[in-house]
Structure 1
Amino acid sequence: MATKKTTKATPSWSDVKTKLADFDRAGLLGLVQDLYAASKDNKAFLHARFGLGDDPLEPFKDVIIRWINPPDFRNPISVSKAKKAISDYKKALGQPEGLAELTVFYCEEVFDFLAGCGMDDEGFYDALVRMFEQALKYVLALPAAQQAAFLARLDRVRQLGQNVGWGVGDDFDHFWSAAGLAGDE
């Protein structure tokens, strides 16, 4: 007779939380230190969360550059990995100004990339339009005194979008006017 193998459910956060309750301060610090040493993503997360370093956005911007505008054109482009940098920042700190900066930066990097080569991928441009829309929302959620510089950068992106196919310029203009912003359409 075969014995029935019991399967345990996939561990969840509550399982981890239960185990963490057994840690003393030194044990918890050791665990965080091990996580810190385990990956660059963990380091970036902790640096952002605790406001460490000259520019806590730098590692997230570096990831965006790596996947959207790589210095070596032989490297692949990955919209999802670039967008993950913004998501990771949002989880780590999620400050509105930082989110505005990263989303606007993403859009700018796309056009820096396009200045050096062409791209014929509808999904790439759809992601750009969605990021432009997201950037606009983040910028407009900031206090009025912080919006001007971001809006100037986004307007430059909007104007660059007029020279791209796939309806990018039209979509940019739609979101721009829907936000109540005047433009030279």
Structure 2
Amino acid sequence: MPKPTWSTVKSAASELSQRELLSLIGELYRLSKDNQVFLHARFADAEGAMEECKAIVTECLYPDVQRDRPLQVAKAKKVVADFCKAVADPAAHAELMLFFLEQGNAFTVEYGDIDAGFYSALVAMARRAVEAIVSLPVVLQEPFRERLAEVVRSSSGIGWGYHDDLTDIAAAAFPEH
């Protein structure tokens, strides 16, 4: 028997009435917390979802070291990715991605060098943040550009090529700065 694909599901779902689709969405909503978060962000409260995501990113990338909380880069990346799938707002994407970068950067500025994987994740998110920022109308870019410039400035002296990578990313995206 062939493995089901999205096209199979899509074909079956296209036959459902609006009432049946709403019932299905309700079932998916009740099925998991992840589905609830996604649907809330998509349809009900994107700002509230952003604040929840920021709290999780902070816990993951600027953990309470006094309480022996670990860095959780993968969890923070997943939160950003899930939010971006749920909310179709490039400014919100830029905000959360830049916040991710700011939190990770602040942690390493305070506590010193981490490891190559940590910096790779920050650099990758910086690239994604810059892509989101440049997709915005120019009038909306400036606050993000200023925050990015502050991250670049504060990363000076951090190893692993991190500062150089951030400098290159910012200079390529915004050569006039």
> One fold, TM greater than 0.5?
yes
Stretch deviating more after TM superposition (41-50 or 148-157) = 41-50
- Compute the displacement of 1:122 (Å): 0.5
The 8 Å contact of residues 37 and 49 in structure 2, kept in 1 or not, is answered as yes
Quick one: which amino acid aligns to residue 95 of structure 1? D
Q: What value does the CA root-mean-square deviation take over the aligned residues?
A: 2.4
Aligned residues: 176
Matched residue, 2:119: 125
1:52 aligns with 2:60: no
Q: Which has the larger radius of gyration?
A: 1
Stretch deviating more after TM superposition (153-162 or 174-183) = 174-183
Matched residue, 1:69: 62
The 8 Å contact of residues 107 and 131 in structure 1, kept in 2 or not, is answered as yes
1:182 and 1:106 map into 2 onto residues whose CA distance is 25
With the length of structure 1 as denominator, give the TM-score of the two structures: 0.80
1:103-182 residue pairs with structure 2 within 5 A?
A: 103-181=97-175
With the length of structure 2 as denominator, give the TM-score of the two structures: 0.83
2:132 and 2:112 map into 1 onto residues whose CA distance is 28
| Residues 61-105 of structure 1, C-alpha deviations (whole Å, 9 max, x = no match) | 233223322346534323232222222222222311011101100
- Compute the displacement of 1:125 (Å): 0.6
Matched residue, 1:91: 85
Q: Identity rate of aligned residues, in percent?
A: 36
The 8 Å contact of residues 133 and 175 in structure 1, kept in 2 or not, is answered as yes
2:145 and 2:59 map into 1 onto residues whose CA distance is 25
- Say which structure is richer in helix: 2
SS at match of 1:162: coil
1:84 and 1:118 map into 2 onto residues whose CA distance is 24
1:21 and 1:182 map into 2 onto residues whose CA distance is 49
Matched residue, 2:75: 81
For residues 75 and 9 of structure 1, do their structure 2 counterparts lie closer, same or farther at Cα, with a shift above 3 Å needed? Answer: farther
- Compute the displacement of 1:162 (Å): 0.7
Stretch deviating more after TM superposition (62-71 or 163-172) = 62-71
2:113 and 2:68 map into 1 onto residues whose CA distance is 14
2:91 and 2:106 map into 1 onto residues whose CA distance is 22
Quick one: which amino acid aligns to residue 39 of structure 2? L
The 8 Å contact of residues 49 and 93 in structure 1, kept in 2 or not, is answered as yes
| Residues 23-73 of structure 1, C-alpha deviations (whole Å, 9 max, x = no match) | 443332222122222333222211222252653422332332233223465
For residues 113 and 13 of structure 1, do their structure 2 counterparts lie closer, same or farther at Cα, with a shift above 3 Å needed? Answer: same
- Compute the displacement of 1:165 (Å): 1.0
